[in-house]
């Protein structure tokens, strides 16, 4: 299967780095993904995908750990980025139908946050995915989601 090329703002072709990471920069620079979450990258790892964001001070809560809202928002974006990467399809413009998240531990604001995503099933109109938010060997959250494919 060909490696998916995530959308990049401005229509530029994404560049894969030496470790297989490609930018995941969707939408305009003033829209949610880039304003709230910031730069993200994705790569395929066997039958799953790893989507990465690097926390910044704005992503932390009063306890200086990653805010739960950031983890939820990242899970929502990661199901699309992960499924697009694993299935080599463009799901931009789809809509989240359901997102379930279980918080397991605090997220370190000084380490990259990875969402390891697997596609459970794809139907004609829906994609079912699940994954784990991890930092190194630590699990931060588990999540599952369903999204409707774009028309």
In a domain, 14, yes or no: yes
* Non-local CB neighbours of 50 within 8 Å, separated by 6+ positions: 42, 43, 82, 114, 115, 116, 117
In a domain, 58, yes or no: yes
* Non-local CB neighbours of 110 within 8 Å, separated by 6+ positions: 55
The side-by-side arrangement of strands in the sheet containing 48-53 is 22-23, 40-45, 48-53, 113-122, 126-135, 138-148, 95-103
CATH number of the domain bearing residue 47: 3.10.129.10
In a domain, 1, yes or no: no
In a domain, 4, yes or no: no
In a domain, 124, yes or no: yes
Say how far apart CA 87 and CA 100 lie, in whole Å: 22
In a domain, 74, yes or no: yes
The predicted model scores a pTM of 0.88
Q: Domain span at residue 127?
A: 9-148
pLDDT by residue for the chain (151 residues), tens only, comes to 344 445 544 444 556 676 889 888 777 778 888 888 889 999 999 999 999 999 999 999 999 999 999 999 999 999 999 999 999 998 988 999 999 999 999 999 999 999 999 999 999 999 999 999 999 999 999 999 999 999 8
In a domain, 2, yes or no: no
In a domain, 119, yes or no: yes
């Amino acid at each position: 299967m060909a490696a998916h090329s995530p959308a990049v703002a401005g229509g530029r072709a994404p560049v894969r780095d030496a470790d297989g990471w490609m930018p995941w920069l969707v939408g305009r620079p003033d829209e949610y993904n880039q304003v709230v979450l910031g730069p993200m990258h994705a790569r395929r790892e066997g039958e799953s995908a790893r989507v990465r964001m690097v926390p910044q001070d704005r992503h932390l809560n009063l306890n200086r750990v990653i805010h739960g809202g950031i983890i939820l928002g990242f899970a929502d974006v990661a199901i699309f980025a992960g499924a697009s990467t694993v299935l080599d399809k463009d799901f931009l413009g789809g809509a989240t139908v359901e997102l379930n998240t279980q918080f397991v531990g605090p997220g370190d604001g000084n380490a990259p946050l990875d969402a390891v995503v697997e596609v459970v099933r794809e139907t004609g109109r829906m994609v079912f995915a699940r994954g784990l938010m991890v930092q190194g060997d630590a699990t931060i959250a588990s999540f599952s989601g369903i999204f409707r494919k774009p028309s």
